[in-house]
Amino acid sequence: MFESLSDYKALVFDYSVMFEVGGTPIFDELLDVIMKSGLDVYVSKTFKMLHYCVLRQADPKSKRAVDSMKTFCSYLLPDKKLHLVNELETGAFLEAFASVEGACILTTRNGIFTKRLYEKHPDFSGHVAILTGRELKIFESVDKLTEDYPLPEVSKLALNNSYLDEYAFASVGDVVKSKDQRESYELIKRLSGGAEGMVFTTDNKNLVAKIYHRGTITPLRWAKLQKLADLGIRSNGFCLPRTLLYFNNIPVGYTMPLGQGTTLGSVFDGPDAILEQFPDWTRLDVVETLVSLIEKYLYLHLHNVVAGDIQLKNALIASPKKVFLIDMDSVQAGNLPCPVGTEEFTDPRLWGKDFAGFVRGLCDEDYSIAMLVFSILFCGLHPYATRKGAETLKEEIIEKNFPYTLDNSDEEHIPVGGYNHIWRRLPERLRTMLYQTFKCGTRYEAVQWYDAVSAYRDDIIAMKLDDAEAYKLFPDSDYNQKEYTGLADDFKPEEHKAADTASAPAPAPSPFAQQAPAESKPAFAPVADGSAFQNPEPKPVFEKKTFAAPSGIYVPRNIGDPEAAKNSGAHKDEPEQNKKKGGKFFGLL
If one counts every other C-beta atom within 10 angstroms of the C-beta of residue 250, the result is 15
For 261-293, the pLDDT digits (tens) are 999 999 999 999 999 999 999 999 999 999 999
Residue 430 pLDDT greater than 70, yes or no: yes
Half-sphere exposure of 268 (CA within 13 A, CB side): 30
User: What's residue 588's pLDDT?
Assistant: 32
What integer pLDDT is reported at residue 460 of this predicted model? 96
Q: Please say whether the dihedral angle defined by the alpha carbons of residues 41, 42, 46 and 49, taken in this order, is positive or negative.
A: positive
**Torsion from C-alpha of 61, 67, 69, 74, nearest 10 degrees:** -170
Residue 128 confidence (pLDDT) above 90: yes
Contact 57, 503 (CB under 8 A): no
> What values do phi and psi take at 453, rounded to 5?
-70, -35
Q: How far apart are CA 316 and CA 306, in angstroms?
A: 18
Query: Mind listing the pLDDT tens digit for each residue in 473-525?
Result: 999 988 888 777 666 555 555 554 444 444 444 433 333 333 333 333 445 55
Higher local confidence (pLDDT), 519 or 379: 379
- Residue from 374, 346, 421 nearest 268 by CA: 374
380-384, 419-423, 434-438, 582-586: the lowest-pLDDT one: 582-586
Core vs surface per residue 378-416: b (16+ CB within 10 A) or e: bbbbbbbbbeebeeebeebbeeebbbbeeeeeeeebbee
Residue 365 neighbours by CB distance under 10 Å: 23
Which domains, and CATH codes, for the chain? Answer: 1-151+508-542 (3.40.50.1010), 175-256 (3.30.200.20), 262-471 (1.10.510.10)
For the residues 565-581, what does the mean pLDDT come to?
A: 34
Q: Which of 121, 127, 124 is nearest to 147 (CA)?
A: 121
Single-letter residue type at 184: S
Q: How far apart are CA 90 and CA 113, in angstroms?
A: 7
- Rg from Cα positions in the chain: 25
Q: Where are the alpha helices (DSSP H) in 304-418?
A: 362-377, 393-399
Contact 318, 521 (CB under 8 A): no
Backbone angles phi, psi at 246, to 5 degrees: -125, 150
Terminal CA-CA length for the chain: 29
Check pLDDT > 60 for residue 383. yes
pLDDT given at position 535: 57
Q: Residue 516, exposed/middle/buried by CB under 10 A (0-12, 13-18, 19+)?
A: exposed
Residue among 404, 360, 359, 408 at smallest CA distance from 386: 404
For residue 589, pLDDT over 90 is answered with no
Instruction: Give the H or E element holding residue 317.
Output: strand 315-319
Phi, psi of 220 (to 5 degrees): -65, -50
Whether 554 has a pLDDT exceeding 50, the answer reads: no
Chain mean pLDDT for the chain: 85
Pick 123 or 509 by higher pLDDT: 123
Q: What pLDDT score does 493 carry?
A: 56
E strand intervals along 344-448: none
pLDDT category of residue 532 using cuts at 50, 70 and 90 = low
Q: Are 69 and 531 in contact (CB under 8 A)?
A: no
Q: Per 3-state DSSP, what percentage of the chain is helix, strand, and coil (rounded to 5)?
A: 40, 15, 45
| Angle value at C-alpha 549, between 547 and 553, nearest 5 degrees | 155
Lowest mean pLDDT of 158-162, 440-444, 532-536, name the range.
Answer: 532-536
**What is the reported pTM?**
0.87
- Paired with 524 in beta bridges are 85
DSSP string for 66-129 = HHHHHHHHHHHTTTT-EEEE---SHHHHHHHHTT-SSEEEEEETT-HHHHHHHHH-----SEEE
Segment (H or E) for 184: strand 184-193
The Cα 512–Cα 263 span in angstroms is: 36
pLDDT at residue 585 is higher than 50? no
User: Residue 355 gets which letter from DSSP?
Assistant: G
384, pLDDT greater than 60: yes
The reported pLDDT for the residue numbered 569 is: 33
How far from chain centre, in Å, is Cα 97? 24
Instruction: State residue 533's pLDDT score.
Output: 58
In whole angstroms, give the CA distance from residue 330 to residue 262.
20
Neighbouring C-beta atoms of residue 90, cutoff 10 Å? 22
For residue 165, the model assigns a pLDDT of: 82
3-state secondary structure of 2: coil
Separation between Cα atoms, residue 462 and residue 403, nearest integer Å:
31
pLDDT of residue 494: 57
Question: Using one digit for the tens of pLDDT, what is the confidence trace for 75-117?
Answer: 999 999 999 999 999 999 999 888 888 999 999 999 999 999 9
Q: What gap in Å lies between CA 526 and CA 456, rounded to an integer?
A: 26
Q: Calculate the alpha carbon distances from 111 to 114, 328, 389, 443 in Å.
A: 5, 21, 42, 20
Return the pLDDT at 490.
55
Report the alpha-carbon distance of residue 335 to residue 358 in Å, rounded: 8
